[in-house]
Structure 1
Amino acid sequence: MSLQYQIVPVTSFAQNCSIIWCDETMEAVVVDPGGDVNQLVMIIKELGVNVVRLVLTHGHLDHVGGTEPLAKELGGIEVIGPHIGDKFWLDGLPNQSQMFGFEHTNAFLPNQWLLDGDVVIIGKQSLNVIHTPGHTPGHVILFSDSAKLAFVGDVLFAGGIGRTDFPQGDHATLISSIKEKLWPLGNDVTFIPGHGPTSTFGKERVSNPFVADEMPLY
């Protein structure tokens, strides 16, 4: 019994949407369905998983643009996240889509906002919700202690960190989120960022020029 995942890059921003499932029950969630809904539906069918909810790490268009159509395609399943601090981003989706040249995207609200300490259940697996503001004020990440996996949205990248020049972004807050909330999870944790390749927290602590603290890998 273990947690499985498949990364599906979506939109022209190559955003890493993740399909995550419990391999015993085949229950699944989709994290950050930013777009390319037909492709996501096809892959979900190929995997043979039962998606029970969509989970959003933050309110930027490339992470949430396909949420409503995908939820509808999958039978009206619930949408949870992000933290309510990103409500203004979801309210502003029509403007975001116009600004970035995307298809018109309606504003929407999730069925549930996520809070620090919440748990997302996937079959017999679970993901812990950690509020990690900085890139956006309502950003959350999802962490599986058993699998040593973290789905970190746009907080941290291999060799980089999230942008903080958007409305209500804050560089010092982002650095604090990374060092005080991600690093304690363990050097051996593999993380799936919102864009680009996976890495480990240990590797980034040694080599990431924005947040390295020269911790030894072992």
Structure 2
Amino acid sequence: MSLQFEIVPVTPFQQNCSVIWCDETNEAALVDPGGDIHLLKDKVQQLGLTVTKLILTHGHLDHVGGTEPLAAELGVPVVGPHKEDAFWLQGLPRQSEMFGFPLTEAFDPDQWLEDGDVVTVGNQSLSVYHTPGHTPGHVVLYSAEASVAFVGDVLFNGGIGRTDFPKGDFQTLINSIKGKLWPLGNDVSFVPGHGPMSTFGKERVSNPFVADEMPLY
């Protein structure tokens, strides 16, 4: 029994939407369904899963654009992000205009997430960490059993999230990464919001923004 996942890149931003599921119950959740919902529905069908919720790490359009139509079609609740990102979700029509996306209406999730919350998918549990910096209400989801974290745009393979958006802050982001993510362990794999997976240990050695174990030559 464990948490399984597959990554489906969506939208022109090639944002990583994760289909995550419990292999005992085949109950699933979609993390950051940013768009191209036909691809997401095809993947769910192909895997023989039943989606029970949509989970959002933060309020940026490329991560949430497909949420409302998909939630309506599947009849499932939307969970997350932290309420500090409410202004991003309320500003979705403006974001659509800015990035040349189809109009995305403003919405609120069915449930905001707080640091320390637990989200269940079938028999699996994900711990919620509030990780501001890229956006003020960003959250990270962590499965201790599978040793994997879904980190949205907090951390990338070789990089970190942008902090030049409204209410973004570089030092806050660094503190989130070092204070919330590193203690989970070097062997934890993570799925970033864009690009390939990595591990916290690898980023601690080689990521120019947050490395703290650079070998001395």
TM-score range, shorter chain: over 0.9
* TM-score normalized with structure 1 length: 0.97
Confirm whether residue 78 of structure 1 aligns to residue 80 of structure 2: no
Residue 19 of structure 2 corresponds to which residue in structure 1? 19
Provide the C-alpha distance between the structure 2 equivalents of 1:215 and 1:143, rounded to a whole number of angstroms.
25
1:53-112: CA deviation from partner (whole Å, max 9, x where unpaired): 0000000000000000111221x2100100000000000000000000000000000000
Provide the C-alpha distance between the structure 1 equivalents of 2:165 and 2:14, rounded to a whole number of angstroms.
19
Residue 200 of structure 1 corresponds to which residue in structure 2? 199
* TM-score normalized with structure 2 length: 0.98
Confirm whether residue 36 of structure 1 aligns to residue 36 of structure 2: yes
Residue 211 of structure 2 corresponds to which residue in structure 1? 212
1:147-184: CA deviation from partner (whole Å, max 9, x where unpaired): 10000000000000000000000000000000000000
Contact 2:206 2:214 in 1 (8 A): no
Provide the C-alpha distance between the structure 1 equivalents of 2:100 and 2:156, rounded to a whole number of angstroms.
25
Shift of 1:42: 1.0
Residue identity matched to 2:179: E
Shift of 1:198: 0.1
Contact 2:140 2:152 in 1 (8 A): yes
Provide the C-alpha distance between the structure 1 equivalents of 2:170 and 2:48, rounded to a whole number of angstroms.
41
Contact 1:202 1:215 in 2 (8 A): no
Provide the C-alpha distance between the structure 2 equivalents of 1:96 and 1:200, rounded to a whole number of angstroms.
31
Provide the C-alpha distance between the structure 2 equivalents of 1:117 and 1:50, rounded to a whole number of angstroms.
26
Identity of aligned residues (%): 73
Residue 125 of structure 1 corresponds to which residue in structure 2? 124
Stretches (4+) displaced over 2 A: none
Partner secondary structure for residue 137 of structure 1 = coil
Provide the C-alpha distance between the structure 1 equivalents of 2:23 and 2:64, rounded to a whole number of angstroms.
26
How many residue pairs are counted as aligned between the two chains?
215
Consecutive unaligned residues in structure 1, runs of 5 or more: none
Shift of 1:124: 1.0
Shift of 1:38: 1.0
Consecutive unaligned residues in structure 2, runs of 5 or more: none
Shift of 1:12: 0.2
Provide the C-alpha distance between the structure 1 equivalents of 2:79 and 2:141, rounded to a whole number of angstroms.
12
Residue identity matched to 1:81: G
